[in-house]
Chain A
């Protein structure tokens, strides 16, 4: 597994504080991960190890849960998160071109974050706003009917 930079995770008191709120019971895994995700903006590998150790489960189990739920990420999210809808309706209206353009402009691939951590490309999620023809989801604002030139 790749090394993720996390300065104080091992001895991080805040992580310990989060853990101490919960009993050492594996049922609490998702609750703990929710708090850790909130705290770091992602779930660093050392934190995963510590959580596994605390709950007495394997790292694989922790990793399996993290990758199952879309709220948990293994990499830091950016300040702004972009998702391009590739649902059928949006795809027909050319959302793939928008995705290409976004990748080209930001020089990152889906699921990656720009080096300054400002923008995290959430990738090809089907965004809920199906009634808009082509929608890019940017944090809470959706830019409706955006076309590839504008993006």
Chain B
């Protein structure tokens, strides 16, 4: 158990210590080697890379170096990715065998290993991750902490304003003020239907019931999509915090996250995050001495695509076959165990803390008139830079495919792109809005 003061102290001290993660000119002797441990990089042996680094650093007795696992950096095509801070050197497609060269050349001699640097789409060699064209048009809100912090360490999350939004909500905002803020931000559901999130929260708050539930839908089933997985793997605490804020706003004290069993790393990290939050007294009874109590449990899916539909998901949490219920009544009134239930998608939750901290007006200033904020896309198929991108709403497909995605390999023509799930349409060149020569 940690008191609010202790958490504030951790935030302050840890933030100083981790300044080198965001500040190129950080005043430090330390170096952090960040290695991506998202599912993609992990399957290309990033775990071995971490172990090799740790072993070599111990053998060669190099002081002030830390090896840290992070979530997804986004540029999965170039994985496994290794980044060395504070100088922000970006090594792509690293193999466990390359570790020795990086340690010798980079850490001991202080030179970069040019062989492992990455080439941008225009052919120039790039030293820093942020210099890549891939990142220039992106705006990272939901993915803010992915690739920056160790997802299995709650202190690192706290250092980057973690659980600050919860503190703000619990001590200075009423339930209605929270809902008003979310409504004003214009945030819409990121699961696909785009229902205004604030409205959903308001309906669930208004619903009558002695017990209410908050549910997070992490049953991401569409082929090729891995936005939610990456958030759960890279920044699980942001989802926990947002679910708690939602619980406070609608008056619920119990949450469930429904994750598909095909995401073992996400399940393990999220489970660990819940444990740490409980240990710190962030999840539990009378949080920080307030009247607000909240606890969270994981429920695993078992390979049924339909369980991504909200009522089927509720059936599955209740331990039955996931057959959708008739609507109405909607889950906001009759949900889990017939109680009013708020269901949001992982990415929707990942935006909440940032809206509370930076204000609804800030969020509403990003995106288009009707769709505010940013959207995360998993970019796959025949593009150069496959991976995870987050762009403001209103970004054209052309920008995503060409400016960020680097176009089609070998300079070939664009034929069609599909957005959303298998039932969505194909977009051809005409809709992409691009001329022949690109």
Contacts and interface: CB of A to CB of B under 8 A. Distances in A.
Interface centre among B224, B302, B422 (most CB of A within 10 A): B302
A68 B322 contact: yes
Contact of B319 (A30, A128, A130): A30
B261 A71 contact: yes
Nearest to A71: B303
Nearest to B322: A68
B319 A29 contact: yes
A69 B302 contact: yes
B319 A28 contact: yes
Contacts of B77: none
B168 to A, nearest CB: 34
Interface in B317-342: 317-322
A133 to B, nearest CB: 13
A30 B381 contact: no
A30 B316 contact: yes
A33 B317 CA distance: 13
Contact of B300 (A27, A34, A130, A140): A34
A120 interface: no
Contacts of A26: 319
B51 to A, nearest CB: 21
A21 to B, nearest CB: 13
A71 B262 CA distance: 9
A145 B427 CA distance: 25
Interface centre among A30, A68, A69, A140 (most CB of B within 10 A): A30
Contacts of B382: 131
A128 B300 contact: no
B302 A34 contact: yes
A70 B322 CA distance: 12
B302 A30 contact: yes
Nearest to A31: B300
B303 A27 contact: no
Contact of B317 (A27, A70, A131, A140): A27
A137 interface: no
A72 B302 CA distance: 7
Interface in B71-117: none
Nearest to B381: A131
Interface residues of B, number: 20
Interface residues of A, number: 21
B304 A65 contact: no
A81 B300 CA distance: 22
Contacts of A72: 302-303
A70 B303 contact: yes
A89 to B, nearest CB: 11
A38 B381 CA distance: 32
Interface string A26-49: 111111011000000000000000
Interface in A6-31: 26-31
B299 interface: yes
A28 B302 CA distance: 13
B411 interface: no
Nearest to B302: A69
B195 to A, nearest CB: 27
B192 interface: no
B317 A68 contact: no
A151 to B, nearest CB: 23
B321 A34 contact: no
A33 B316 CA distance: 13
B223 interface: yes
B223 A128 contact: yes
A27 B322 contact: no
Given A31-B300, A33-B302, A131-B381, A65 B319 contact: yes
Contacts of B422: 130
A30 B300 contact: yes
B304 A130 contact: no
Contacts of B43: 140
Nearest to B298: A31
Nearest to A29: B319
B319 to A, nearest CB: 4
A68 B321 contact: yes
Given A27-B318, A65-B319, A130 B302 contact: no
A130 B299 contact: no
A27 B321 contact: no
Contacts of A71: 261, 301-303
Given A65-B320, A69-B304, A128 B224 contact: yes
A61 B321 CA distance: 9
B431 to A, nearest CB: 19
Contacts of A61: 320
Given A30-B299, A31-B299, A131-B381, A70 B304 contact: yes
Contacts of A64: 321
Contacts of B223: 128-130
Interface of A: 26-31, 33-34, 61, 64-65, 68-72, 128-131, 140
10 contacts: A30-B316, A31-B299, A31-B300, A34-B261, A65-B320, A65-B321, A68-B321, A69-B301, A70-B303, A71-B303
Given A61-B320, A70-B303, A128-B224, 5 more contacts: A30-B301, A34-B300, A34-B302, A65-B319, A128-B223
For the complex of A and B, the 3 pairs showing the least CB-CB separation, nearest first, are A71-B303, A69-B302, A68-B321
